[in-house]
Structure 1
Amino acid sequence: MTAAAPTNVCIIIAAKNAAGTIAKAIASALAEPEVAEVVVIDDGSTDDTAAVARATADGSGRLNVVRFEENRGPAAARNHAIAVSKSPLLGILDADDFFFAGRMHQLLAQDGWDFIADNIAFIDAGQAAGAARNIDRFAPSPRLLDLVGFVEGNISRRGVRRGEIGFLKPLMRRSFLDQFDLRYNETLRLGEDFDLYARALARGARYKIIHSCGYAAVVRGDSLSGSHRTIDLRRLYEADRAILAEAHLSGEAAAVLRRHERHIRDRYELRHFLDLKRGKGIASAFAYALAHPGALPAIVSGIVGDKTERFRRSRSPAPVALGGTGDIRYLLDALALERAE
């Protein structure tokens, strides 16, 4: 007789106005026999997210739905879920995404990790129903990711294919988070995942990646990134500065984190300039630029880049709208991976 799979994973779903998608997300998590808990935090929704979530319960008692009356952000929602859960392993699932069957088995077959993540398939919303039949099968090819590789993989460059590996959705060992008193930074509403993983890696976390694909990120034309506020960019580069100030980093790790800080700060300066232009006029925007000469290169290069963007075809596998083509894009570069026999 085959032994029953251990149930030691809590899946955390922070949701806001996700009534149309959360049932599929919850069902995919409950279908994994290794999942002991699914904790849904309804983060101040104005639709029926909480009711739909509760109706998805499978009778096993593993689903816990908590509702915040006011929106507190994904970091606060996830921290609350960690606090009310009991499982030794924690995983994140976005409310409009879902797991492919067998994801937990693939991840838990590996050892020697504090964080472990697999490949992500970006799937057009119209193709999600049949996605499990169409995804490519990759050999696990496990490897460890260090802080330098992680941060470098989150610095985008115009026209250059990159992975944005901060999008990865790892399982995390609660014991490691507790040992170093790590939780999500609740001041962040952008890059809260990147910040947590970077702080963990700065403290020696073993972050393993396998190339098998178990996570489906559903891409919708109305759910693209870019809706963040300008202040969110500022808080993210300030979080980088906090890591630089608090962690004992190697010279190489400190250098790449400073590059990421500068990358985010440049984006902030451009957005702040454009905000001033829209809100107070071009004179006010140029007055700011002249008073902050260090911001001028970012502003000028950002404006030029935006003006010429339409002449360049994006090569990024990051979550862009797929246009209903049925294509599947992978976060980890499929061309570089060994396909499973």
Structure 2
Amino acid sequence: MIQTTAAVDCSMPVIVSVIVPAHNVELYIDHTLTSIRTQTVRSLEILVVDDASCDATARMAAAHASQDPRVRLIRMTENRGVCRARNEGLAAAHGRWIAFVDSDDWLEPGRLARMIEAAERMELDWLADDQFMVSRPNARPSGRVLRNEPAGLSRMDVAHLVVRDPPETVGYGTLKPLVRRSFLCRHQLEFRLGQERYEDFLFHVDCGLHGARMGLLNQPLYYYRRRSGSLTTVDPLTTLTRMLEQNAVAEHAACELGSVRLQAALARRANLIRSSLGYRRLLRDLGRREVSSALRALRADPQLGITLMDRLARAAGRRVRW
């Protein structure tokens, strides 16, 4: 099922293991791996987990491995999804710290060094930095993820992360943290299988529920590539339905561990997701000219009409200003 390129030299301590799950990303993987290989932290390993790509992804990753012994290619012989791929990377990791990088994103050269120094100074188990949202290298960023946070380094609990991850936005669930490997091993934490959409969100919640000392570094050192035609934009109803299902999984876990503050934050988030689902269904019915269905929805929830008018007004305002 799994093939790997080479054994690791365990005589050399590894400070950070960078896990890169990859599937059919031949257009992006070279830039991603180059940005990791040129990090100012030299004592690292780069674990590329190829999830049975059928393009040139594995071959390109193998080329990096042949040039740099810190790069290891782990090949899945059948496509099992990003959660399985990340878990295979976790099982193979030797570093004191774990970093996750998506195979179409990239890093500032000093990112890992800055995050490791900050996490160790504050004795954290989980630290996330800000992200620039971009469409391609050298493009002007369209935004950042962290909002209204203190400058520099600050502590955070998992309920705060949930509050800052509302539906239909790039929220804190997309953050790519640095995580202490000993913490993950102690609590036997990994990515939940079968949760391939918003798997990061559930992983963050699991870390927080198990007592991770969490922090934020309000500095954009990670470049998050926003690709057109993603499921989030093409099929918002499916996306929101999946988000609500995963929120319920997190609510169940919070209830089992008795985290009242987190339960409240997740309940509020669930209500926001339901509201967005109602709004999106109303738009679908109006687009299909299913007037009777739209009227039933408005009678059942008058707030939908207010939301519709508000969003239309805001959209018109943006067009006028532009």
TM-score, normalised by the number of residues in structure 1 = 0.72
- Provide the identity percentage: 26
Superposition pairs of residues 120-131 of structure 1, within 5 angstroms: 120-125=131-136, 127=138
Residue 60 of structure 1 pairs with residue 42 of structure 2: no
SS at match of 2:138: helix
The 3 A distance-change label for structure 1 pair 44 and 303 is: farther
The 3 A distance-change label for structure 1 pair 163 and 269 is: closer
Separation (CA, whole Å) in 1 of partners of 2:108 and 2:181? 24
Higher relative contact order (CA closer than 8 Å, sequence separation 6+): 1
Residue range with higher mean Cα deviation, 79-88 or 262-271: 262-271
Aligned to 2:128: 117
Kindly provide the amino acid, as one letter, of the partner of residue 173 in structure 2: G
SS at match of 1:83: helix
Residue 85 of structure 1 pairs with residue 90 of structure 2: no
Aligned to 2:23: 16
Cα deviation 1:132-173 (Å, max 9, x = unaligned): xxxxxxx9721011122111111258xxxx872222211112
SS at match of 2:90: helix
Cα deviation 1:156-198 (Å, max 9, x = unaligned): 58xxxx8722222111122222333322122223221111112
Q: Among residues 262, 265, 269, which one is paired with 1:260 in the alignment?
A: 269
Residue range with higher mean Cα deviation, 59-68 or 20-29: 59-68
Q: How many Å apart are 1:236 and its aligned residue? A: 3.0
RMSD of aligned alpha carbons: 3.6
Aligned to 1:108: 116
SS at match of 1:226: helix
Superposition pairs of residues 162-173 of structure 1, within 5 angstroms: 164-173=171-180
Is the contact between residue 14 and residue 94 of structure 2 (CA under 8 Å) also seen in structure 1? no
Which sections of structure 2, spanning at least 5 residues, go unmatched? Answer: 1-11, 142-149
SS at match of 2:222: strand
Cα deviation 1:209-260 (Å, max 9, x = unaligned): 1123321223444558424674553343233223333333454332211011
Cα deviation 1:302-329 (Å, max 9, x = unaligned): 6556655532439xxxxxxxxxxxxxxx
SS at match of 1:45: coil
The 3 A distance-change label for structure 1 pair 298 and 78 is: farther
Which sections of structure 1, spanning at least 5 residues, go unmatched? Answer: 132-138, 315-341
The 3 A distance-change label for structure 1 pair 233 and 181 is: farther
TM-score, normalised by the number of residues in structure 2 = 0.75
Q: How many Å apart are 1:261 and its aligned residue? A: 1.8
Aligned to 2:102: 94
SS at match of 1:245: helix
Kindly provide the amino acid, as one letter, of the partner of residue 275 in structure 2: D
